């Protein structure tokens, strides 16, 4: 009995197949949600490394504990201003890269 070779797929191939090709609305929404989720996890990690509670971080930037909790679970509803305030309070550097066609603009 001959052994069948199992076809393997890359992550991008799986995303293309099940979420949508790059540039489609579905794929763009997925990638955005993923980035916001990662950003929330980065905020939580930085806060924990600074040994701050959500309440303490909230006090540093002038928001309630519940806002920090929402931000850490998903940064979707946060403004860039709030995100910058959080990272400044955590004494952490954050950079934004904007790609315009083939050129990159970096905002710090």
The answer as to whether 66 is a domain residue is: yes
Q: Strand (E) positions, the chain?
A: 96-100, 103-107
**Total residue length of the chain:** 108
d(CA 93, CA 108): 8
Domains of the chain: total:
1
The answer as to whether 46 is a domain residue is: yes
Q: What is the pLDDT of residue 68?
A: 94
pLDDT in tens, 39-48: 899 999 999 9
The answer as to whether 51 is a domain residue is: yes
Q: What is the pLDDT of residue 32?
A: 83
CATH assignment at residue 68: 1.10.260.40
The answer as to whether 55 is a domain residue is: yes
Q: How many CA atoms lie within 13 A of 102 on its CB side?
A: 0
According to DSSP, residue 24 is labeled S
d(CA 63, CA 43): 15
Confidence of residue 36 (pLDDT cuts 50, 70, 90): confident
- Residue from 106, 83, 82 nearest 95 by CA: 106
pLDDT in tens, 49-97: 999 999 999 999 999 999 999 999 887 778 888 888 999 999 998 877 6
């Amino acid at each position: 009995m001959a052994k069948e070779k199992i076809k393997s797929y890359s992550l991008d191939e799986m995303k293309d197949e099940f979420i949508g090709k790059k540039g489609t609305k579905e794929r763009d929404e997925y990638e955005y949600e993923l980035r916001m989720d990662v950003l929330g996890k980065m905020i939580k990690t930085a806060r924990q490394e600074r040994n701050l509670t959500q309440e303490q971080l909230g006090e540093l930037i002038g928001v309630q504990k519940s806002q920090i909790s929402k931000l850490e679970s998903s940064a979707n509803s946060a403004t860039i201003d709030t995100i910058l305030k959080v990272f400044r309070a955590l004494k952490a550097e954050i950079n934004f890269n904007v790609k315009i066609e083939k050129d990159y603009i970096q905002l710090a």
